[in-house]
Amino acid sequence: MTAAQGVLLRPITMGLLLQSLFLLLLLLLLGSCLQPATAFPKGCYPSEEEGLKTFRCSNAQLTEVPRDIPNDTNKLYLDFNQIPFLPRDAFRDLPLLLELDLSHNAIARIETGAFQGLAEHLHSLDLSSNRLVSVSKDAFSNLKAKVNLSNNPWLCDCRLQELIRAVELAADSSGGIVCDSSTQEEHVGKAFLQVIADTDFCNVYKKTTDIAMLVTMFGWFAMVISYLVYYVRQNQEDARRHLEYLKSLPSKQRRSEESSTISTVV
């Protein structure tokens, strides 16, 4: 190759190198743009419904609440999964959430603060068809949403009564809150709102607690009285034995012992 040919090939080589670098940079930019979409869990996808930003994860075989939900989501569907419980701050990064569907899961426990951050905007919460037996009313603290609690294996007691009074039930959902078990056997299988129309679980619980406290106090009082009676009788027995001992002594020694006993008593 002559020097003249080398001079001609040099610009061509530089052009090809610059073109390769440009294509590589373009691929990197496209990859970074596509990365957020691929970060969604399998079976989840964003959409827009009636002008509201929606995120659907229905029947996606989830075992926990996804972490990569867009924070501008208005409607979130997590129904028909296998989520077993809701931890504290599970939805704290979703300040614009209006509707939350958690129906048909395996939720058996809801930690206090699970819905923290949703009080301002959330107006619909569906927890139907889960495995809820007992939930503290504090888990729904300050929540103004209409809640669907139907089709769960509820334990009908004072705790459920407090919960029902603390939340606003979704329309036509109250009849689905049925006593799967109860502190009173005759209520099993009945709608809870029908039961509490005639039974105040919390009042019954209070009476039971008061009776238990009275029984405990009486037991302690009886123990104290028994101890005092035992103590007095034991002293009387010791005094009787001592007197019999004194009687068995010679007269001078007996007088001395009696004087000692009298001075000790005084």
- What CATH number does the domain located at 38-198 have? 3.80.10.10
C-alpha 215/C-alpha 212 separation (Å) is 5
> What is the spatial order of strands in the sheet that 45-49 belongs to?
45-49, 52-56, 75-77, 99-101, 124-126, 146-148, 168-169
Q: Where exactly are the structural domains of the chain?
A: 38-198, 200-233
What pLDDT score does 145 carry? 96
* For the chain, percent of residues with pLDDT exceeding 90: 55
- CB burial readout 188-206, b (16+ within 10 A) else e: eeebbeebbeebebeeeee
Helix (H) / strand (E) element for 192: namely helix 192-195
Tell me the pairing of strands 146-148 and 109-110. Answer: unpaired
161 and 201 Cβ atoms separated by less than 8 Å: yes
This model's pTM is above 0.75: no
User: Per residue in 134-179, pLDDT tens?
Assistant: 999 999 998 999 999 999 999 999 999 999 999 999 999 999 999 9
Closest to 182 (Cα-Cα) out of 134, 136, 149: 134
Mean pLDDT in residue range 64-83:
95
Mean pLDDT in residue range 167-193:
94
C-alpha 50/C-alpha 130 separation (Å) is 28
User: Per residue in 38-59, pLDDT tens?
Assistant: 478 889 999 999 899 999 999 9
What pLDDT score does 133 carry? 98
Indicate if the pLDDT at residue 217 is higher than 70.
Answer: no
Four-CA torsion 89, 90, 94, 99, nearest 10 degrees:
-120
